[in-house]
Amino acid sequence: MVINKLNFPVYGLFLVVSLICGLIFNYFYLKKCKIQKRIIFHYLILFIPFALVFGFTLSSFISKDGGLSSYAGAIGVIVGAIVYEKICPSNKIFIKCSIMSLPLIYSVAKIGCFLAGCCYGLPYNKIFSVTYPQGLNIPLVPIQLIETIVFLILFFIILLIEKKHNKNIISITIVLCSIVKFLLDFLRYDHLNTTITLNQIISIVFVIIAILLNKKTHI
* 78 touches other proteins by CB under 8 A: no
Stretch that binds other proteins, among 22-30, 110-118, 164-172, 179-187 (CB under 8 A): 110-118
Applying CB under 8 A, among 3, 5, 133, 134 the residue interacting with other proteins is 134
Stretch that binds other proteins, among 44-52, 165-173, 180-188, 202-210 (CB under 8 A): 44-52
User: What gap in Å lies between CA 204 and CA 138, rounded to an integer?
Assistant: 31
Q: According to the 3-state scheme, what is the secondary structure of 21-87?
A: HHHHHHHHHHHHCCCCHHHHHHHHHHHHHHHHHHHHHHHHHHCCCCCCCHHHHHHHHHHHHHHHHHH
User: What gap in Å lies between CA 200 and CA 125, rounded to an integer?
Assistant: 25
* 12 touches other proteins by CB under 8 A: yes
User: What gap in Å lies between CA 132 and CA 62, rounded to an integer?
Assistant: 25
Stretch that binds other proteins, among 61-69, 162-170, 176-184, 187-195 (CB under 8 A): 61-69
Applying CB under 8 A, among 22, 73, 103, 117 the residue interacting with other proteins is 117
CB of 158 to other proteins, least distance (A): 26
